[in-house]
Amino acid sequence: MTQKSFKRLDSRDKIFHIILFLIMLWVLFITLFPFLNVLAISFNDSADTARGGVGIFPRVFTLENYTQLARFPAMWTGLYISLARTIIGTALGLFCTSMLAYVISRQDFMFRKAITTMFILTMYVSGGLIPHFMVIRMFGLNNTFWVYIIPTLISAWNLIIIRSFIDSLPYSLQESAFIDGANDLTIFFKIILPLCLPVLMTVALFIAVFQWNSWFDTYLFAPFNESITTLQFELMKILEGAATGGQLGDAGNIQMAHNVSPLSLRMAATVVTMLPMLLAYPFVQRFFVSGMTLGAVKE
């Protein structure tokens, strides 16, 4: 609302807008405060943090917490593996999900309803953790990098999202391409994928966030293999080590040898793990509202 339009309102409307503005300002504050508090503690001196009362700004600014965190060798391995699984898992997962979504969206495919129903059932019925572990071990994926990629290639939820978007596209685009002699692969790569760019970027963000934040699969299938550890798993170890007195692995050794506050180390690790997603989100957000069917054939 502009200043001129605000002046034209009567007194009751002005009071309403002022109260609404104050409420939204309060909601914004309580939403940002936890993040700003974590950021402030991560940049605050450990001895000063132990006194408590750190708000949204560090009282004694220092980079010592991040310096000591960088001495944790597994953090660098975890960072590399987390980046690799996020990039590879997002690319392969998006490709496989979008291709399957195109197949079951085809009106001339006789098994489209059966396959769709099968995937929807997986959202409500699960075999359980033990059968899942046994299947992973039977295929020899435990203690390998591909245990992060293959079991999560296709998500039923993402499949439904992409298929619904493809169904909303004019089917005459595919029919006209068939008349011109295009095959299914040409239609998929030259027509469907370019038009599905907004939903593909949205689903890519979903997959990337899942891959980046996942740690339980590392805990189940590679808990002692530091060559394929993940950043989130190392963060979990630091949080658990701090909760149990800081004696868990290298995290506890860092806290004891360098007199680093467990709380400061936890906050610094938290900032490191969530920073990449915060940086990537603004570049993906613009695809959420962009329309790629503008100018296409309408029915």
Are 38 and 51 in a shared domain?
yes
Does 50 share its domain with 126? no
* Same domain flag for 136 and 151: yes
For the chain, the distance separating the N- and C-terminal CA atoms, rounded to the nearest angstrom, is 38
- Alpha-helical segments (H) within the chain: 3-7, 11-42, 46-49, 64-70, 73-105, 112-121, 129-138, 156-168, 172-179, 184-187, 193-195, 197-213, 216-221, 231-243, 249-258, 262-285
Average pLDDT on 271-296 reads 65
Residue 203 C-alpha from the chain's centroid:
10
Q: Which of 62, 83, 110 is the last residue of a domain?
A: 62
pLDDT in the model for residue 292: 40
For 226-249, write each residue's pLDDT tens digit: 888 898 888 888 776 654 444 444
Residue 281 included in any domain: yes
Q: Are residues 175 and 229 in the same domain?
A: yes
Predicted confidence (pLDDT) at residue 44 exceeds the cutoff of 50: yes
- 39, 43, 140, 206 from 35: Cα distances, Å: 6, 13, 40, 21
Number of domains in the chain: 2
Q: Are residues 130 and 144 in the same domain?
A: yes
* Mean pLDDT estimate for the chain: 80
The answer to the question of residue 121 being in a domain is: yes
Q: Are both 218 and 287 inside the same structural domain? A: yes
Q: For residue 61, list its beta bridge partners.
A: 44
pLDDT computed for residue 293 by the predictor: 39
Last residue of a domain, one of 27, 45, 62: 62
Lowest mean pLDDT across 130-139, 184-193, 272-281: 272-281
Which residues are 44's β-sheet partners?
61
Distance CA 39, CA 36 (A): 5
Q: Are residues 144 and 234 in the same domain?
A: yes
What the block records as the tokens of 99 is 């291709």
* Same structural domain, 210 and 97: yes
Domain boundary among 62, 84, 105: 62
d(CA 105, CA 163): 6
- The structure tokens listed for 137 are 């071990």
pLDDT of residue 283 exceeding 50:
yes
54 & 73 share domain:
no
* 38 and 144 part of one domain: no
Q: Could you tell me the two tokens for 210?
A: 């899942």
pLDDT tens-digit series, residues 75-123: 888 889 999 999 999 999 999 999 999 999 888 888 888 888 888 888 8
The first and second tokens of residue 132, run together, are 């899942």
Q: How many CB atoms lie within 10 A of CB 172?
A: 12
Instruction: Look up the domain containing 16 and give its range.
Output: 6-62
Q: What is the pLDDT of residue 91?
A: 94
Pair (25, 157) in one structural domain:
no
Does 283 map to a domain? yes
Q: Could you tell me if residue 1 is inside a domain?
A: no
Q: Same domain, yes or no, for 24 and 93?
A: no
Which residues share a beta bridge with 158?
A: none
For residues 238 and 219, what is the distance between their CA atoms, to the nearest angstrom? Answer: 14
